[in-house]
Amino acid sequence: MTDCKRSRCPVACTLDLLGDKWTLLVVRDLLFGRHTFKELQASAERIPSNILADRLKRLEREGILRKQLYQERPPRYAYHLTDKGRSLGPVLHAMLSWGSTHVPGTLNKEEIDALLNAE
């Protein structure tokens, strides 16, 4: 309440941080092993670059990921989830499970595993 949250409800506060179309997809990709701006941009959903830059900034500010320079000259950056970020795994998993069973046309878990192993 001190820092202008909508309420003290943990669900509402989580949505204040992650409640939009893109943020959790970035977390998904980081969990799935994509780490550079380019890799994150290349996901199937084609996140616009300005939105991606904004979300990476927010997530870093919230301590959900860290940006690290892994190579000088030319400067190259990698984004990695913190423990706080990795602990969003169950949220993503619950969404994956719900979507997989309730949204027709989505990949099921076997198809996802197959894709992940094929990479």
Partner DNA sequence: TCCAGTCACTTTCAAAATGAAAGTGACTAA
Partner DNA sequence: TTAGTCACTTTCATTTTGAAAGTGACTGGA
DSSP string, 47-101: --HHHHHHHHHHHHHTTSEEEEEEETTTTEEEEEE-HHHHTTHHHHHHHHHHHHH
Residue 69 beta carbon to DNA: minimum distance, rounded to whole angstroms: 9
Residues 5-64 that bind a copy of itself (CB under 8 A): 5-17, 19-22, 24-25, 28, 43-46
Q: Considering only CA atoms, which of 109, 119, 115 is closest in space to residue 39?
A: 119
Beta bridge partners, 77, equal 69
Told to check if 68 binds DNA by CB under 7 A, we report: no
Interacting residue with a copy of itself among 42, 91, 114, 116 (CB under 8 A): 91
Contact 69, 76 (CB under 8 A): yes
Q: Is 4 left (phi over 0), alpha (psi -120 to 50) or beta?
A: left
Q: Which option in DNA, a copy of itself, none does residue 37 bind, with CB closer than 5 to 8 A by kind?
A: DNA
- Considering only residues 48, 63, 89, 99, which one is a binding residue for DNA as defined by CB under 7 A? 48
Q: Which residues bind DNA (CB under 7 A)?
A: 20-22, 36-38, 46, 48-51, 53-54, 56-57, 67, 73-77
Q: Which residues bind a copy of itself (CB under 8 A)?
A: 1-3, 5-17, 19-22, 24-25, 28, 43-46, 84, 87-88, 90-103, 105-107, 112
